[in-house]
């Protein structure tokens, strides 16, 4: 019997409720992180495969047994681990992601990550694996990195049409921060502010200039790969207009083509034949749109800033030297302080949507030396840091200390990639092993 005969059609109003279901008060604003790293064998600097005695699957088995974590499976294959609200999951090329329950302070997140890393270390050593805090695989490329056996990744790899989508899926690692909002007005203000900040902060933390053992000519090859993945679902969502809303965000997601849906745990491929709006209106074969279909579809929509019942900010290379906490501290200092947002809005008011879009395309190659209008991004980045630091000091949580690692670079007009390139063309003599030694110190 057709779903169309047994279920009412999904309405947009039902979808919009997903975004308003967990609004917070001033006292409940938390910060979350998703933290991807690149597993490599230290001896060879090659990417660790899923299979094999010393592959990622057996690493997960060993850690789960040692530390009493539960398996996350897909079609009986282990694709991650969970314990309480925390997860260790695998991205398509075995990139290992820690997803930590949001906390009020960055200190609490750091303590949890430090604790987990301490637990992971002896098992990693047994497998001779290092988890690199870097934005792109330094030696292995997608041609010799197999997808993990997760059904959705196979479907995505066949569908995503950008020329660097395989690089994005199999080679890259990033940091995503999550931030709460109090109501729709607060969400829209934070959403628009975050979108304007992203190109600058992507530049500040650019950390993927060496890929496949060679210099790429880009300071963040990871960001370049996102520019060339699938423009139907990547980039800025909306035009940063003053009248943006939950409904307008939903409208953007509805207009993007559907890759697949799930029924009874089995993927049903749609391959972009219809968008979600058409699915809601007409169905697809015997299937009618359900709320869970939208949630899956929205999860396969990859804008720079993604809305859920929180705000997820996505486009930052994985970085070391405790700089992952610098990413969170900048956004927290700005998004959780109305005065700081006032200052950012004033700072960036002279630039148009097209200015930000052009900057986004120039950042992968030039990072902080990219220009917006007639100003270098690095000059704006210094102002952003100053505003974030002042705000964090006012909050009196002592979280301004997390800005120190990136402040040292930004004030000199440098990003992590600049330090790598200086050494790559100097002391390291283009030796990828020396790059890896630097990254794992």
Spatial neighbors of 286 by CB under 8 A, at least 6 apart, are: 2, 3, 4
Instruction: Look over the chain and give the mean of its residue pLDDT values, rounded to a whole number.
Output: 96
Model confidence at 424: pLDDT above 70: yes
Confidence of residue 3 (pLDDT cuts 50, 70, 90): very low
What's the rounded mean pLDDT across residues 305-329?
97
Partner residues linked to 77 by β-bridges: 74
Which residue, chain included where needed, has tokens 């729709």? 184
Partner residues linked to 257 by β-bridges: 275
* 329 touches 340 (CB < 8 A): no
- For 325-339, what is each residue's pLDDT tens digit? 999 999 999 999 999
- For 19-49, what is each residue's pLDDT tens digit? 998 899 999 999 999 999 999 999 999 999 9
- For 120-140, what is each residue's pLDDT tens digit? 999 999 999 999 999 999 999
Partner residues linked to 434 by β-bridges: none
What's the rounded mean pLDDT across residues 249-276?
97
Longest dimension (CA), the chain: 70
What's the rounded mean pLDDT across residues 59-67?
98
Q: Phi, psi (5° rounding) for residue 25?
A: -100, 175
Model confidence at 4: pLDDT above 50: no
- The CATH number assigned to the domain with range 3-440 reads 3.30.590.20
Model confidence at 5: pLDDT above 60: no
Model confidence at 105: pLDDT above 80: yes
What's the rounded mean pLDDT across residues 145-171?
97
Residue 20: count of CB within 10 angstroms of its CB: 13
Partner residues linked to 268 by β-bridges: 261
CA distance 48 to 54: 8
What's the rounded mean pLDDT across residues 146-153?
98
Write down the pLDDT at residue 8. Answer: 83
What's the rounded mean pLDDT across residues 211-216?
98
In total, the chain counts a number of residues equal to 441
Model confidence at 317: pLDDT above 50: yes
Model confidence at 81: pLDDT above 80: yes
Q: Among residues of the chain, what percentage have pLDDT more than 70?
A: 98
Model confidence at 205: pLDDT above 80: yes
> CA neighbours within 13 Å on the CB side: how many for 198?
33
Query: What is the full DSSP assignment across 29-96?
Result: --EEEEEEEEEEETTT-PBPPSSSTTSHHHHHHHHHHHHTPEEEEETTEEEEEEETTEEEEE-TTS-E
pTM beyond 0.75, yes or no: yes
Model confidence at 2: pLDDT above 70: no
Model confidence at 283: pLDDT above 50: yes
Domain range annotation of the chain: 3-440
Write down the pLDDT at residue 7. Answer: 66
Per-residue three-class SS string for 362-397: HHHHHHHHCEECCEEHHHHHHHHHHHHHHHHHHHCC
- For 64-78, what is each residue's pLDDT tens digit? 999 999 999 999 999
Write down the pLDDT at residue 430. Answer: 98
What's the rounded mean pLDDT across residues 190-199?
98
Model confidence at 366: pLDDT above 80: yes
What's the rounded mean pLDDT across residues 213-232?
98
Residue 319: count of CB within 10 angstroms of its CB: 28
Q: Among residues of the chain, what percentage have pLDDT more than 90?
A: 96
Model confidence at 277: pLDDT above 80: yes
Helix axes 184-204, 12-20, angle to 10 degrees: 70
Partner residues linked to 172 by β-bridges: 136
Write down the pLDDT at residue 22. Answer: 86
Residue 258: count of CB within 10 angstroms of its CB: 26
Write down the pLDDT at residue 239. Answer: 85
Confidence of residue 6 (pLDDT cuts 50, 70, 90): low
CA distances to 126, 263, 363 from 324, in Å: 26, 37, 19
Model confidence at 370: pLDDT above 60: yes
């Amino acid at each position: 019997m057709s779903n169309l005969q047994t279920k009412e059609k999904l309405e947009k109003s039902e979808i919009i409720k997903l975004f308003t279901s967990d609004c917070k008060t001033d006292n409940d604003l938390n910060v979350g992180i998703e933290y991807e790293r690149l597993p490599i064998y230290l001896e060879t600097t090659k990417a660790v495969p899923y299979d094999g005695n010393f592959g990622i699957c057996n690493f997960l088995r060993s850690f789960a047994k040692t530390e009493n974590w539960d398996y996350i499976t897909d079609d009986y294959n282990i694709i991650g681990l969970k314990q309480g609200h925390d997860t260790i999951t695998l991205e398509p090329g075995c990139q290992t992601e820690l997803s930590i329950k949001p906390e009020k302070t960055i200190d609490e997140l750091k303590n949890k990550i430090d604790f987990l890393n301490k637990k992971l270390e002896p098992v990693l050593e047994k497998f001779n694996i290092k988890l690199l805090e870097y934005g792109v695989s330094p030696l292995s490329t997608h041609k010799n990195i197999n997808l993990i056996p997760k059904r959705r990744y196979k479907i995505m790899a066949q569908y995503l049409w950008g020329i660097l989508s395989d690089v994005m899926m199999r080679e890259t690692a990033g940091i995503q921060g999550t931030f709460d909002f109090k109501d729709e007005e607060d969400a829209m203000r934070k959403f628009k502010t975050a979108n304007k900040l992203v190109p600058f902060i992507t530049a500040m933390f650019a950390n993927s200039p060496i890929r496949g053992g060679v210099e790429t000519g880009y300071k963040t090859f990871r960001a370049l790969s996102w520019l060339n993945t699938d423009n139907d679902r990547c980039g800025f969502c909306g035009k940063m207009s003053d009248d943006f809303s939950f409904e307008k965000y939903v409208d953007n997601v509805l207009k993007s083509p559907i890759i697949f849906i799930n029924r009874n745990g089995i993927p049903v491929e749609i391959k972009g034949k219809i968008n979600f709006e058409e699915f809601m209106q007409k169905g697809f074969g015997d299937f009618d749109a359900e709320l869970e279909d939208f949630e899956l579809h929205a999860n396969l929509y990859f804008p720079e800033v993604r809305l859920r019942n929180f705000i997820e900010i996505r486009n930052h290379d994985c970085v070391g030297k405790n700089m992952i906490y610098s990413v969170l501290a900048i956004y927290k200092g700005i998004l959780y302080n109305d005065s700081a947002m006032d200052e950012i809005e004033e700072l960036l008011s002279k630039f148009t949507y097209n200015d930000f879009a052009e900057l986004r395309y120039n950042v992968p190659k030039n990072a902080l030396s990219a220009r917006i209008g007639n100003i270098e991004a690095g000059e704006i980045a210094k102002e952003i840091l100053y505003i974030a630091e002042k705000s964090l000091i006012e909050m009196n949580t002592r979280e301004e200390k997390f800005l120190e690692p990136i402040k040292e670079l930004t004030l000199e007009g440098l990003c992590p990639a600049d330090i790598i390139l200086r050494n790559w063309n100097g002391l390291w003599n283009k030796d990828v092993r020396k790059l890896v030694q630097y990254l794992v110190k």
